[in-house]
Amino acid sequence: MIVESRVDPATGGPAASATVVITQHVTAGREDEYQPWQQRTIEAARRFDGFENAEMCPPDTGGERVVVFRFTTVDQLTAWMQSDVRRRLLDEGAGLFDAPPGIEVLVGEPPDRDVVTAVVSHDVLPGREQAFARWQDRMSQAQERFPGYLGSELFPPVPGVQEHWVVLLRYDTAAHLTAWLESDVRARLLREADRFLRQPFDLHTIRSPFSGWFGFGGAPAAVPSWKQAMAVLLALFPTVTLLYYVGAPLLRALQVTGAFAIFVSNVLSSVILTWLLMPLVNRALAFWLLPHGPHRVRTDVVGAAVVVACYAVLITVFTALFG
């Protein structure tokens, strides 16, 4: 676990949120059990003070699963990580994994845009730390010349807590990150690292896409199912209604009928929902979908009331327009 504290000079408190990256290798044959267990873990974390968001990343080619939690402060993250609730969940899921998890806690400002992040752990030989730091500087200078590079951070080990050095690389797209990871420049620099690394580095890629219907800086899995259903209905109802009363007559006028007409309507509704209405709903209801602060129950009630009121307005408007 890596902890680096930063202080806000204005408040004297922590300047940025704390993120934990947990890497787990699921036992063969237990993959179907992992996701519901991890979702229960996320729901449990949600009830702790300071929880901001969480994400279950898709498995990589080696079968490793990465889950990311973000809390407002290191203390709040630590309270969750060391809680009896999490300990019980770990006991329940013990048989799901065939190796101890990899855990890195990173404290810093979350990226202000959609990015792809690589987390690289280095096991540096004792006494070779300065050589490693100089090598890492050269690595960073080389990265800066590659398209899409947004920055990197180096987190040193904490004695008695975390012995590895961790580097975060941020790129604007997965393609640009892959271009750097597979480049001859990087390969040449890695060949020099044998002099100060105890073992090969450990790399994990964390994608933070906004392509899903619930994308909040990489936290699609943290939105409760009942809120997802209400939000989707808020976008789906006007979409289906307009396609039925406006789109269907237009398709008939164009002599598009039968199964093909239904297919075209489904395509249109998917496009409208994914790229138009759901992003608008996400932005408008972000305060409710992923609430922050101590008054989450009140926020849940107020947000649900707002959505129900929107339902009523839409029904009234469409009744007046179409009968």
Instruction: Characterise 322 by phi-psi region: left (phi > 0), alpha (psi -120 to 50), beta (else).
Output: alpha
The segments of the chain whose pLDDT lies below 50 read: 1-15, 111-114, 160-161, 208-222
Radius of gyration in angstroms for the set of CA atoms belonging to the chain, rounded to a whole number: 24
Phi, psi values for residue 162, rounded to 5°: -145, 120
- Residues near 9 by beta carbon (within 8 Å), at least 6 away in sequence: none
What is the predicted pLDDT for the residue at 131?
Answer: 87
CATH class of 18-207: alpha beta
How far apart are the C-alpha atoms of 214 and 56, rounded to whole Å?
A: 13
What is the enclosing helix (H) or strand (E) of 131? helix 129-143
- 168 DSSP assignment: E
pLDDT at position 56:
76
Q: What is the 3-state secondary structure (H, E, C) of 9-58?
A: CCCCCECCCEEEEEEEEECCCCHHHHHHHHHHHHHHHHCCCCEEEEEEEC
Tell me: the pLDDT tens digits for 105-153? 666 555 444 467 777 778 888 888 888 888 888 888 898 888 888 777 7
Q: What is the pLDDT of residue 12?
A: 43
The sign of the CA dihedral 206, 208, 211, 215 is: positive
Give alpha helix (H) positions in 169-322: 174-181, 184-191, 225-242, 248-253, 258-272, 278-284, 286-289, 296-322
Residue ranges of the domains in the chain? 18-207, 223-322
